[in-house]
Amino acid sequence: MSSKNPVHIIGGGLAGSEAAWQLARAGVPVLLHEMRPVRSTDAHRTAHLAELVCSNSFRSDDALNNAVGLLHAEMRRCDSLILRAADANRLPAGGALAVDRDGFAGFVEAALEAEPLIEIKREEVTALPPADWASVIIATGPLTAPALAEAIAQRTGIGALAFFDAIAPIVHADSIDAGKVWRQSRYDKSSPGGDGADYINCALDRAQYENFVAALREADKVAFHDWEKDTPYFDGCLPIEVMAERGPDTLRWGPMKPVGLTNPHTGYRPYAVVQLRQDNALGTLYNLVGFQTKLRHADQVRIFRTIPGLEHAEFARLGGLHRNTFINSPKLLDSALRLKALPQLRFAGQITGVEGYVESAAIGLLAGRFAAAEAQGASLTAPPATTALGALLGHITGGADTKSFQPMNINFGLLPPLPEGTITRANRGEKKPMMARRALADLERWRGAAREAAE
């Protein structure tokens, strides 16, 4: 290990392993603290770094038509260890990037162990790092050990660290049928900067509402893991299917209450309503307010498309409820993933409020690069917002609404739309490939500029 001060990384999962690799490759020493096997989590089964706790898939590998495929392509161009390990251990899975999980984790671990600049310590970090750890990346994931989680919660303040997620589905704004919905806030109330018409409203008549409630009651639910059952969240934010089971009117008294709203298409107050609220600063994404759910994804799509105005909705993210540890990143972090109140601390991975193996590793990659530039007295600008890496980073460090912040997958709705007029009826199918090509070209420019700045 070099005599230079190391960057300390806490957690050797997807994000921590990727960050360590990026730092070492940039010539910066790393001390990686991983608690397994001394202490494990409820989901991990092995002592390997970068263990995949559930599925063995990194999802679609189609860079031109799928946002996570685009993220793969960008990460490969940034010499990602996680993508290198995935490619080396790839299994047949159609258009998806699926891996042999033991081969994958073994590859990552061997690569990090072989790096002379990386030291791996198997120990739990139980408190916020001491002051002499000048640069730290916290990448302890959705199941951060309790003592450290408690210390983070105390440092970040009440409500800034969540122990579970309650994810409502999000739709692409341009897939909502504007002819059926209307914009209005309840009682036309205006928020600061709003105009009394902040919400998109979908009206349901009595028959539509009753059918909707019946569909929720009949649908397949995803069971909680045993170790999730004691998580104290269910009373505060019940899944909509649980509300539907409590009684025929429970939803109409809850998130679907129609008070303070008039449907301009009928001139009357609707029987029930689904409200959608803007989810990102770009205004490309809207969430279904209060619609956290544990329904199976296929059932969510089928049932939510019965809501008038959402018949052709394209979902950027579907709902979920899980035990999950994540901070309110848009409020707490600066654009280089540092805690504003204690800039020696960076966060990376799922704890920053991204969702998924690939997204967690992507934020690890960026945290590693930011920390490496800092250690070398250089500065690194964030990747452009038009790239998947830049869009994901921008969402969690500013683009997302701090009040309703919930974990997010990469999706094309996070990227700025193409210039007006680029997409017409005739070339609609080209929208994603055009955004992807723009992303890859902009990423190359960013990489070139970063290389020049480092020289």
Other Cβ atoms less than 10 A from the Cβ of 412: the count is 22
What distance in Å separates the CA atoms of residue 65 and residue 436, rounded to the nearest whole number?
8
Residue written as token pair 């309703």: 404
- Compose the 50-69 pattern: x for residues touching ligand FAD by CB under 6 A, - for all others: ---xxx--------------
User: 69 and 9 in contact (C-beta within 8 Å)?
Assistant: no
Q: Which of residues 53 and 342 has its CB atom nearest to ligand FAD in the complex? A: 53
**Which residues make Cβ contacts (< 8 Å) with residue 423, sequence separation at least 6?**
430, 431, 434
CB of 11 to ligand FAD, least distance (A): 3
- Under the binding rule (CB under 6 A), the answer on residue 350 touching ligand FAD is yes
Contact call for residues 378 and 454 (beta carbons, < 8 A):
yes
Which tokens is 176 given? 């909502």
Q: Which of 15, 81, 171, 372 binds ligand FAD (CB under 6 A)?
A: 15
Specify the stretch interacting with ligand FAD by CB under 6 A; choose among 49-57, 69-77, 241-249, 415-423: 49-57
Min separation Cβ 348 and ligand FAD, Å: 7
* 13 counts as binding ligand FAD under rule CB under 6 A: yes
Task: Identify which of residues 163 and 271 has a Cβ nearer to ligand FAD in the complex.
Answer: 163
- H/E stretch holding 393 reads helix 388-394
CA distances from 239 to 103, 116, 243, 264 (A): 37, 49, 7, 30
Tell me if 409 sits within 8 A of 359, measured CB to CB.
Answer: yes
- Per CB under 6 A, the segment of 35-43, 77-85, 179-187, 236-244 that binds ligand FAD is 35-43
Instruction: Tell me the two tokens of residue 10.
Output: 């806490």
Q: What's the Cα-to-Cα distance from 445 to each of 273, 410, 428, rounded to whole Å? A: 46, 21, 27
The only residue of 16, 319, 330, 383 in contact with ligand FAD, by rule CB under 6 A: 16
Tokens 């539907």 correspond to what residue? 244
SS3 state of residue 326: strand
Residue showing tokens 């809207």: 286
Residue in 31, 32, 33, 375 binding ligand FAD, rule: CB under 6 A: 33
CB 32, min distance to ligand FAD, A: 9
Q: Which of residues 85-124 bind ligand FAD (CB under 6 A)?
A: 124
Smallest distance from ligand FAD to CB 357, Å: 4
436 lies in the site for ligand FAD, by CB under 6 A = no
Taking the complex as a whole, the smallest distance from the CB of residue 259 to ligand FAD amounts, in Å, to 38
- Complex with ligand FAD: residue 44 or 294, whichever CB lies closer: 44
Q: Given the rule CB under 6 A, which of 47-55, 308-316, 369-377, 394-402 is the region that contacts ligand FAD?
A: 47-55
CA gap 251, 289 in Å, rounded: 12
Helix (H, G, I), strand (E, B) or coil at 120: strand
Decide: helix, strand or coil at residue 445: helix
Which parts of 353-372 interact with ligand FAD (CB under 6 A)? 356-357, 360
Instruction: Fill in the amino acid letter for 335.
Output: S
What residues numbered 401-420 form the site for ligand FAD, per CB under 6 A?
Answer: none
Nearer to ligand FAD, 105 or 391 (CB): 105
Binding residue (CB under 6 A) for ligand FAD from 5, 25, 26, 43: 43
Count CB neighbours of 417 within 10 A. Answer: 16
Q: What is the dihedral of CA 239, 240, 242, 247, to 10 degrees?
A: 150
* DSSP letter, residue 49: T
Strand 285-288 relative to strand 170-172: parallel, antiparallel, unpaired?
antiparallel
Count, residues near ligand FAD per rule CB under 6 A: 33
User: Using the rule CB under 6 A, which residue among 105, 137, 145, 450 binds ligand FAD?
Assistant: 145
Taking CB positions, which residue lies at the least distance from ligand FAD?
Answer: 13
Q: How many CA atoms lie within 13 A of 328 on its CB side?
A: 16
Site track for ligand FAD across 125-144, x = CB under 6 A? x-------------xxxxxx
The verdict on 153 binding ligand FAD (CB under 6 A) reads no
3-state secondary structure of 303: helix
The one segment of 41-49, 211-219, 335-343, 442-450 that binds ligand FAD by CB under 6 A: 41-49
State the minimum distance, in angstroms, from the CB of residue 39 to ligand FAD: 8
From the CB of 407, what's the least distance to ligand FAD, in Å?
A: 9
In the bound complex, what is the minimum distance in angstroms from residue 400's beta carbon to ligand FAD? 18
Using CB under 6 A, list all residues that contact ligand FAD. 10-16, 33-36, 41, 43-44, 53-55, 124-125, 139-145, 148, 349-351, 356-357, 360
